Amino acid sequence: MENNLRISLVQADIAWEDKSLNLKQYRDLLSNLSGKTDLAILPETFSTGFSMQNSHLAETNAGETISEVKTWASSFGMAIAGSFFAKDEFGNIYNRGFFITPEGTTHFYDKRHLFRMGNEHEYFVAGQKQLIVSYKGWNINLIICYDLRFPVWSRNVDKAYDLLICCANWPEVRNSVWETLLKARAIENQAFVCGVNRIGEDGNQLKHQGNSMLINYKGEVLSEIVLNKQSINTYSINKEELDSFREKFPAWKDADKFDLLS
């Protein structure tokens, strides 16, 4: 088992509905991390922006975006996580999270909680299953933006995961909520939490501040990117430290048991 996991928070702007430009930008950013990280985390819908005009932007799992990410993961020797607009053979569209390893193994998660205030629920189909990926001896749970507000969905039952990833397009006006919820999820689940958010103004004139951060199981910020700045922060987390804390302060043993209904 690997004790350390190097995580890179990739905070950048997203060109509105311009897939080719975004893929080029993020490829250039990730190329600088080759050999320097184990896992790079991108913002939500990094290749298009959070547009509801998604019928012409959505792709299959074998489309351009995932094909590109698989190439990056292999070429740069890192796992990559984020989300994109996906479609299935029935015409359903999803805000689909991905976790792709350097070996080309792909894992997908469809966003469970669709952002009602942005009418996301009118254009997308909600996911029904959680995703926990095993990678380098770590169990990693992936959620997307608005999912962060719903603690039951990310409840860590019997230490099922060690790291919770949240990729987001979280607006500047609710920045304090972003910080509070990330810390709460870390404390209540006794896990590391990493939130990666975009910067810049989107096509709906919503401003995003970034404020991407990595938080430990005590709710302490380990790494944080300056507001409104394009930057990549890489930080190494340690599994033995997490296991030791869980053993010393086993609050997880007293968590309420429940069955999550779809």
Active site residues: 44, 111, 145
Structure tokens at 191: 């896990």
Q: Please, what is the end-to-end C-alpha distance for the chain in angstroms? A: 34
Tell me the two tokens of residue 253: 């043993």
Point out which residues pair with 171 in neighbouring strands: 208
Under 8 Å between Cβ of 196 and 10: yes
The stretches of 56-138 forming alpha helices (DSSP H) are 64-76, 120-123
Residue whose pair of structure tokens reads 């509801």 in the numeric block: 52
Angle between helices 19-31 and 64-76 (to 10 degrees): 10
Residue 253 · residue 232 · CB < 8 Å? no
Of 230, 210, 200, the closest CA to residue 170 belongs to 210
Name 234's bridge partners. Answer: 8
Burial of 235 (0-12, 13-18, 19+ CB in 10 A): middle
Nearest by Cα to 221 from 229, 233, 231: 233
The DSSP code for 11 is E
